[in-house]
A and B are shown apart, each in its own frame.
Chain A
Amino acid sequence: GNSVTQMEGPVTLSEEAFLTINCTYTATGYPSLFWYVQYPGEGLQLLLKATKADDKGSNKGFEATYRKETTSFHLEKGSVQVSDSAVYFCALSDLHTGANSKLTFGKGITLSVRP
């Protein structure tokens, strides 16, 4: 079945540091890939997505590129801010099984950014 593996956390960075959060996946077919963010006490918000190989999703300074050859979708940001402190989830949706298919999530990683 489908699965998503995220790097172990938590991650603590100083403000303006470079961020990379690794995500790899296993899936049949051609999944869409997502990064969701969960701020303290809130629900999940879509951060960015990519629907096919070599697509780059970007939002709020975050980027991730869909790499089919390495089955990866690593999240990067050049300069993190304190307000980026949150839990980040990588997820996939196997649209090959039809529209409106469920999301499979990684375990999530907590990012803390120090001033």
Chain B
Amino acid sequence: DSGVTQTPKHLITATGQRVTLRCSPRSGDLSVYWYQQSLDQGLQFLIQYYNGEERAKGNILERFSAQQFPDLHSELNLSSLELGDSALYFCASSGPGYGYTFGSGTRLTVV
């Protein structure tokens, strides 16, 4: 158990739908990061939250949004899904002196 929990592990949905991916960071970590891993793009940084506030934004589409709640868990919302959104979505958390810990990912398949 890495300490970062992602749910669900697998998700299959149709084009045009909306899904929510959930991430619980390691206890005590204030930062949460979302990454997308696809075969052609590698690991792309999407967005970072720190203690509830957006800290940095990467290559995140307008159809995607995220938030971090007061209990520090985070959700990544993906809407109007397209076939090309099929990927592995990772969450990571970090804290002072601890470094980064990754969850095991959510595999999204859009059909």
Contact = CB atoms under 8 A, between A and B. Distances in A.
B102 A106 contact: no
B30 interface: yes
B42 A100 contact: no
A102 B105 CA distance: 17
Given A101-B56, A102-B58, A108 B42 contact: yes
Would you call the interface of chain B mostly helix, strand, loop, or mixed? strand
B55 A105 contact: no
Interface in A95-111: 99-108
Contacts, number: 47
Contacts of A83: none
Contacts of A106: 42
| A: interface residue count bin | 20 to 34
Contacts of A107: 42
Nearest to B57: A102
Interface residues of B, number: 24
A102 B103 contact: no
Contacts of B11: none
Interface in B44-61: 45, 48, 50, 55-56, 58
Contacts of A59: none
A35 interface: no
A103 B33 contact: yes
30 contacts: A34-B100, A42-B104, A43-B2, A43-B90, A43-B102, A43-B104, A43-B105, A44-B90, A44-B92, A44-B102, A49-B99, A93-B100, A99-B96, A100-B30, A100-B48, A100-B50, A100-B95, A100-B96, A102-B33, A102-B45, A102-B58, A103-B45, A103-B92, A103-B100, A104-B45, A105-B35, A105-B45, A106-B42, A107-B42, A108-B42
Given A49-B99, A93-B100, A105-B45, 9 more contacts: A43-B90, A43-B103, A100-B31, A100-B95, A102-B33, A102-B56, A103-B92, A105-B42, A106-B42
Q: Pick the 5 closest A-B CB pairs, nearest first.
A: A100-B31, A105-B43, A107-B42, A43-B104, A44-B102
